Amino acid sequence: MAIFLNKLLRTFCRVHKIFTFPSKIFLWSILTHSDDGFSGANFQRPKFIEMMEEIKAGKINCVIVKDLSRFGRDFGESGKYIEHVFPFLGVRFISANDGYDSLNKKDRNSDLVVPVLNLINDAYCRDISVKIRSQLETKRKKGDFIGAFAVYGYVRDMNNRNKLVVDEAAADIVKLIFRWKLDGMSALAISDKLNKMGVLSPYEYKKSLGLNYSAPFAKSSRTLWSAVAVFRILKDETYLGVMVQGKCSTPNHKVKKRFIKPEADWARVGGTHEEITTLDDFNLAARLMESDTRTSPGAETVYPFSGMAKCGLCGENMIRKTVKSNGKSYVYYVCCRSCKGVRIAEKDLTQAAEITLLSQGLMFYFAIAMTMKEQLVLHWLSAKFTRFPKPKF
């Protein structure tokens, strides 16, 4: 049979004549397993699982570790394997530095020492976890970037790994996304346009920089832009120069299932790096995403009153409909619930909005809104007035 041990324990085996004592144990080969880079608090380690499969297959009859902390730092799990699993499977367990050998029945003190050592190892792991969590939280509150990868549009500062600097190439794409959104394009239309332009998605862009980046949503050989990726950028406060971290956490060092923390508990620090977009554009984009601004089939931009015109009776959205008569097209807004008598022509609705803006002394802004950014003024208007005044027929 084989024996599971670390290379550093070969001398231990030779000096203590593990190969010949007891005489009933015969060794045909030696297997070495090492779980480098994995926490001892977790027993779902690849090499440990592989070792257990070999034990169950009858290929291993003796497990030797340098000390109990190398075997595991979970008090409950370590005790379960040493006191129950290994004896049941007929496996000898040896901890070299701790002087423990499950085959030595004469040493009764080991039955008391092993649980204590396992408890100490567990407490040590917990103590380290608390200290690391505290240090990371301190860095978050200072505005230091502690993430593994910078958000799209930024890179780590070569002189300070906890600071972000603008990546000009990716930042230009971020600015385009915000501009197109303010011009009325939907997230899906923006993603389609970026794909047609051949712009690398955030995932592919990080890979092109040589970063060892991976994501669970990457299922194809080449990841493209999607509406979700566009929304993620439009909602990210990082582009305002604000460092927001600590959104997710785990209950403790043993439970790795992540949960989303309340927003009030997030670490939010402003002015930590250069902004890519302005606060006005960011807030306007957020307002547009809250509204029902779906584009009509074949169109890239939304209509000026999309998601804004409300029914005066039920308060639901008005639907834009085009009616053709005698070779001409007439556009109306009607209630989505078909409330009786609720209908207004688009030209009358535009006139009503213009009159309201004139009464507020904002005609100059209305002229600007009808050119490049009509949504800016119209959404400002929607914040002031819950419903447009009914025109007189």
Find tokens 């394009």 and name the residue.
Answer: 185
238: pLDDT strictly greater than 60: yes
The pLDDT assigned to 244 comes to 94
Helix axes 374-384, 346-359, angle to 10 degrees: 70
Coil vs helix vs strand at 100? strand
Percent of the chain whose pLDDT exceeds 90: 27
Question: For the chain, which domains are there?
Answer: 2-121 (3.40.50.1390), 143-282 (3.90.1750.20), 303-384 (no CATH)
**79 φ/ψ angles, rounded to the nearest 5 degrees:** -65, -35
List the single range of 157-161, 305-309, 342-346 with lowest mean pLDDT: 305-309
The pLDDT assigned to 236 comes to 94
User: What is the average pLDDT across 239-267?
Assistant: 89
List the single range of 205-214, 215-224, 289-298 with lowest mean pLDDT: 289-298
Higher-confidence residue of 144 and 353: namely 144
Q: Using a CB cutoff of 8 Å and minimum separation of 24, what contacts does 193-200 make?
A: 193/300, 194/225, 195/224, 195/225, 199/173, 199/225
Instruction: Tell me how many degrees the CA angle 118-122-125 measures, rounded to the nearest 5.
Output: 140
| Residue 97 banded pLDDT, cuts 50, 70, 90 | confident
For residues 335 and 346, the answer to whether their CB atoms sit within 8 Å is: no
User: What is the average pLDDT across 166-193?
Assistant: 91
The pLDDT assigned to 240 comes to 95
| Residue 243 banded pLDDT, cuts 50, 70, 90 | very high
Q: How confident is the model over 315-328, as pLDDT tens digits?
A: 777 777 777 777 77
The pLDDT assigned to 298 comes to 58
Q: Which of 324, 237, 249 is nearest to 279 (CA)?
A: 237
Q: How confident is the model over 364-389, as pLDDT tens digits?
A: 555 545 544 455 545 555 554 444 44
Q: Which of 305, 275, 289 is nearest to 230 (CA)?
A: 289
27: pLDDT strictly greater than 60: no
Torsion sign, CA atoms 352, 353, 357, 363: negative
Find tokens 């832009």 and name the residue.
Answer: 225
User: What is the average pLDDT across 197-204?
Assistant: 92
**Tokens encoding 257:** 């299932």
